Amino acid sequence: MTEVRVEVDSTGVAVITLDGPTRLNALSGSTLRALGDAYRSCDTDDAVRAVVLTGAGRAFCAGADLSAQAGAFDTPKGDFTASPVQPPAWRVRKPVIAAINGHAIGIGLTVALQCDIRYVAEDAKLAVPQVRRGMVGDCQSHYTLRRTVGLAVAAELLLTGRTLTGREAADRGIAGRALPAPDVLPTALALAHDTAAEANPASVALSKRLLWSDLDADAVERAETLAHLALLGTDDAAEGAAAWRERRSPRWNSKAGDHVDPA
């Protein structure tokens, strides 16, 4: 069974690893719940400033465990949800970067679509093939994919279930960058460490909430104004300006939850 490992280093970067390489990190219900627990821990831990999600071995995640004993497509019991990762990555108040180091199929890709930033191996295979299995996309993919790339590209993937490469995913806007597989995790970690060192936690949390909101332009203007009112005049606002003048990394005092959510 795929396990979920969480490691937090001294710089405030948390690495969440889907660890079941012999099964290409296939996901079971218990693994998905454990991923939600890992996100929750990262969200509430003030020491965590950025999160990287990756897979062990040569794949990111081959999707749901479709072995007969797993019963992935059996009649559900209890409180079933098609979005079993709770909270999803987009509700974590820190940046969540998906380092898609290999194939990401089905729920393996839809979990990555919940992240804020995606780097992908250029030769990885990506697909949301659920319509070819008599199902539909999960993990809010009809929301996340449409937001990320628009209706035309989202429809092409979700309605056909076809497979694309990591390079094509980057070209279509599904991932920010396509890289040689060995470079994916180091590149994601470099971004995470830079963000952890330089970005203000409260500012990041406020900005992320606005990015993932469904507010119209006028509502965003009001929300941005509230965010500025919450941040202007604080010690961290003064520290940010001082760090820029002195050409050094800032020394932040605030945490992700220090200010009222404007959205």
Q: For the chain, give percent helix, strand, coil, nearest 5.
A: 45, 15, 40
pLDDT digit string, tens, across residues 151-204: 999 999 999 999 999 999 999 999 999 999 999 999 999 999 999 999 999 999
How many other CB atoms sit within 10 Å of the CB of residue 4?
22
Question: Is residue 65's pLDDT more than 90?
Answer: no
Residue 87: asked if its preceding bond is cis (omega within 30°), the reply is: yes
| Mean pLDDT across the chain | 93
Indicate the pLDDT class of residue 71, thresholds 50, 70 and 90: low
pTM of the model: 0.94
Residue 78's pLDDT is what? 75
d(CA 241, CA 252) in angstroms, rounded, equals 12
User: What's the per-residue H, E or C state across 49-60?
Assistant: CEEEEEECCCEE
Q: Which residues contact 247 (CB under 8 A, 6 or more apart)?
A: none
Tell me 75's DSSP state.
P
pLDDT exceeds 90 at position 66: no
3-state secondary structure 23-42: HCCCECHHHHHHHHHHHHHH
Q: d(Cα 103, Cα 24) in Å, to the nearest integer? A: 8
